[in-house]
């Protein structure tokens, strides 16, 4: 355990890119870039060698762009079928293709910067993944994050542009489209909650993204308002796939890790020790997000897992043999004393006095104890709540807000638990087979 804790210590080495570039640095960089390739090759690191394109034909921007024009000689063995699923692999570009503008946030697993693409002028976000100092190689969570983002391309999922490297191979940055807000900061800074019509639009977008991920066999496992980005055109983008994983594959001994989902958004089956769980855990989190949009504050602000379980039981009543038939089989169920029964749905109605019956029905279907009975993202999108008045607002009609991430307004500090520790880092890489 201590070994794991020790090995998850993030890399402290900062690339030159992360430090402010003054004029002298810029000149040095330019001078270095203008050196002939032969002289450079002596001192360069493995990373810059990877990023160096001097020995290859000019690349289109981003490793995810279309493959280069095929040469006369086939690049693959004539005995192996050609690679059709992915563009051919090519070296990662250097982070120095971007001009650093400002640091947006330092999360638990990465520092996020706003930057400008020197070639196109596009404003982007760069998330520097916290990697070990080459102790364990490239961690699986970093691979999962990149892989899941690529597998889940969707209008409501943040767009990954490429992966670039810094001065060494432990400095890896994911380049994404820059999105002006995260929902957590926005909710905290807004004077009034979103309108019902706006909440419906945001929820439909979120459900559409979640349904898309689930359709592609990806569990997000850390849905929360700070991982939902929103642009100034009223569009939600699900981000932070650092805890995501593929589901449906056989799982190893010991099952899936329970160290997933930030506490306030964690489903009861995980809290009670289930080692097999599925898409329903994301829907529970979506229910908590729905409630947070309505209340303008998180639904379950618990300090510990035990406090969270007791808060859930208080709001929804204790589970029964019909509401959750498998409850008694869960590892931690026996150690919990259930509170007395209460009138069905009374506490939930009391907490959301202004929500329509249809809205309350959708919320309680998302916050259903039994994962088997919990509504799916696909079903939720068809719920009558979205068809009753007021109808979902067109995203274009959303007002725009000053962007804290772009430094237009000072970020307001808020107190919320961080994502669980990624012990999964050190699991075998075969657990997440490339799709
Ligand atoms: N593409 C982006 N555009 C703008 N801001 C972003 C972008 N991606 C992330 N951010 C900002 O950076 C914050 C942290 O990003 P992210 O959640 O990916 O990192 P993390 O280290 O995994 O965070 P945590 O563990 O705290 O959830 C987000 O809450 C958001 O404010
Ligand atoms: Mg995050």
For ligand 1, pick from 122, 240, 266, 420 the residue to mutate: most ligand atoms within 8 Å of CB.
Answer: 240
Residue from 222, 240, 282, 425 carrying the catalytic annotation: 222
Do 296 and 323 sit in the same domain of this protein?
yes
Residue 84: band (very low, low, confident or very high) from pLDDT cuts 50, 70, 90 = low
259 vs 73, higher pLDDT: 259
Q: Which pLDDT value is given to residue 132?
A: 61
Please check the confidence at residue 20 and state whether its pLDDT lies above 80: no
Model pLDDT, residue 341: 81
- Between 335 and 84, the more confident residue is 335
Q: Is 411 exposed, middle or buried (0-12, 13-18, 19+ CB in 10 A)?
A: middle
pLDDT at 75: 58
Q: Tell me the pLDDT of the chain averaged across its residues.
A: 79
Q: Alpha helix locations (H) across 296-375?
A: 305-316, 346-351, 357-366
Q: Is the CB of 127 under 6 A from ligand 1?
A: yes
Q: Which structural domain, as residue segments, surrounds residue 166?
A: 95-177
Last residue of a domain, one of 136, 158, 177: 177
Domain co-membership, 155 together with 186 = no
pLDDT, position 76: 55
Does 418 score more than 70 pLDDT?
yes
The closest-lying atom of ligand 1 relative to the alpha carbon of residue 107 is 21
- Mark the residues whose beta carbon lies below 5 A from ion ligand 2: 107, 227, 240
Q: Is 110 in the pocket of ligand 1 (CB under 6 A)?
A: yes
Residue 242 CB less than 6 A away from ligand 1: yes
Q: Is residue 276 part of a domain?
A: yes
User: Ligand 2 centroid to 11 CA: how many Å?
Assistant: 18
- 331 and 300 assigned to the same domain: yes
% pLDDT > 70, the chain: 71
Its pTM surpasses 0.85 = no
Q: Which two tokens stand for residue 349?
A: 């109605």
The three-state secondary structure class of 219 is strand
* 66 CB-side CA count, 13 A: 3
Ligand 1 atom, smallest distance to 177 CA:
1
Q: Is 328 inside any structural domain?
A: yes
Query: Using 50, 70 and 90 to split pLDDT, how confident is the model at 430?
Result: very low
pLDDT digits (tens, 9 = 90+) for 45-72: 443 443 443 333 344 444 444 444 445 5
Helix 280-295 to helix 357-366 angle, to the nearest 10 degrees? 140
Pocket test for ligand 1, best of 222, 239, 265 (most atoms within 8 A of CB): 239
Does residue 267 share a domain with residue 163? no
Contact predicate 18/113, CB 8 Å: yes
In a domain, 302, yes or no: yes
Domain with 110 in it: what CATH number?
A: 3.30.200.20
Would you list the DSSP string of 63-116?
TTSPPPPPPSS-SS-TTSPPP-SSPPP-PPEEGGGEEEEEEEEE-SSEEEEEEE
Does the annotation count 222 as an active-site position?
yes
Distance in angstroms (rounded) separating the CA atoms of residues 257 and 279:
14
Do 171 and 252 lie in a common domain?
A: no
Averaged over 289-313, what is the pLDDT?
96
Biggest CA-to-CA distance, the chain: 79
pLDDT of residue 317: 93
Domain boundary among 120, 148, 177: 177
Tens of pLDDT, residue by residue over 358-406, are 999 999 999 999 999 999 999 999 999 999 999 999 998 887 777 777 7
Pairing mode, strands 93-94 and 160-165? parallel
Residue 129's beta-bridge partner residues? 110, 172
pLDDT digits (tens, 9 = 90+) for 186-221: 999 888 899 999 999 999 999 999 999 999 999 999
The verdict on residue 293 lying in a domain is: yes
Q: State the total domains in the chain.
A: 2
Specify whether 217 is located in the same domain as 341. Answer: yes
């Amino acid at each position: 355990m201590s070994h794991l804790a020790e090995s998850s210590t993030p890399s402290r080495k900062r690339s030159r890119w992360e430090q402010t570039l003054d004029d002298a640095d810029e000149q040095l960089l330019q001078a270095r870039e203008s050196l002939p390739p032969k002289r450079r090759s002596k001192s360069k690191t493995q990373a810059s060698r990877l990023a160096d394109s001097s020995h290859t034909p000019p690349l289109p921007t981003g490793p995810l762009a279309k493959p280069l024009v095929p040469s006369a000689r086939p690049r693959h063995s004539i005995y192996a079928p050609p690679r059709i699923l992915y563009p051919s692999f090519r070296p990662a570009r250097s982070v120095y293709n971007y001009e650093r503008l400002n640091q947006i946030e330092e999360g638990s697993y990465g520092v996020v910067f706003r930057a400008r693409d020197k070639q196109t002028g596009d404003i982007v976000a760069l998330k520097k993944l916290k990697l070990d100092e080459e102790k364990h190689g490239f961690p699986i969570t970093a691979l999962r994050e990149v892989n899941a983002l690529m597998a889940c391309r969707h209008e409501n999922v943040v767009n990954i542009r490429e992966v670039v490297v810094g001065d060494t191979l432990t400095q890896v940055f994911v380049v994404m489209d820059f999105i002006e807000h995260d929902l957590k900061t926005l909710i905290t800074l807004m004077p009034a909650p979103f309108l019902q019509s706006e909440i419906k639009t945001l929820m439909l977008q979120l459900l559409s993204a979640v349904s898309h991920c689930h359709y592609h066999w990806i569990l997000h496992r850390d849905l929360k308002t700070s991982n939902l980005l929103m642009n100034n055109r009223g569009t939600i983008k699900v981000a932070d796939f650092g805890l995501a994983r593929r589901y449906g594959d056989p799982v190893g001994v010991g099952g899936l890790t329970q160290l997933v989902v930030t506490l306030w958004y964690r489903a009861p089956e995980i809290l009670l020790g289930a080692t097999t769980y599925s898409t329903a855990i994301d829907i529970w989190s979506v229910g908590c997000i729905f409630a947070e949009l309505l209340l303008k504050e998180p639904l379950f602000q618990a300090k510990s897992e035990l406090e969270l379980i007791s808060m859930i039981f208080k709001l929804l009543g204790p589970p029964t043999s019909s509401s959750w038939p498998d409850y008694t089989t869960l590892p931690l169920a026996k150690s919990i004393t259930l509170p007395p029964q209460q009138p069905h749905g009374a506490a939930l109605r009391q907490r959301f006095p202004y929500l329509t019956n249809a809205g309350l029905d959708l919320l309680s279907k998302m916050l259903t104890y039994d994962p088997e009975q919990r509504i799916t993202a696909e079903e939720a999108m068809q719920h009558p709540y979205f068809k009753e008045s007021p109808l979902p607002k067109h995203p274009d009609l959303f007002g725009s807000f000053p962007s804290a991430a772009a430094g237009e307004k000072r970020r307001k500090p808020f107190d919320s638990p961080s994502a669980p520790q990624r012990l999964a880092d050190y699991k075998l890489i075969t657990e997440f087979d490339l799709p």
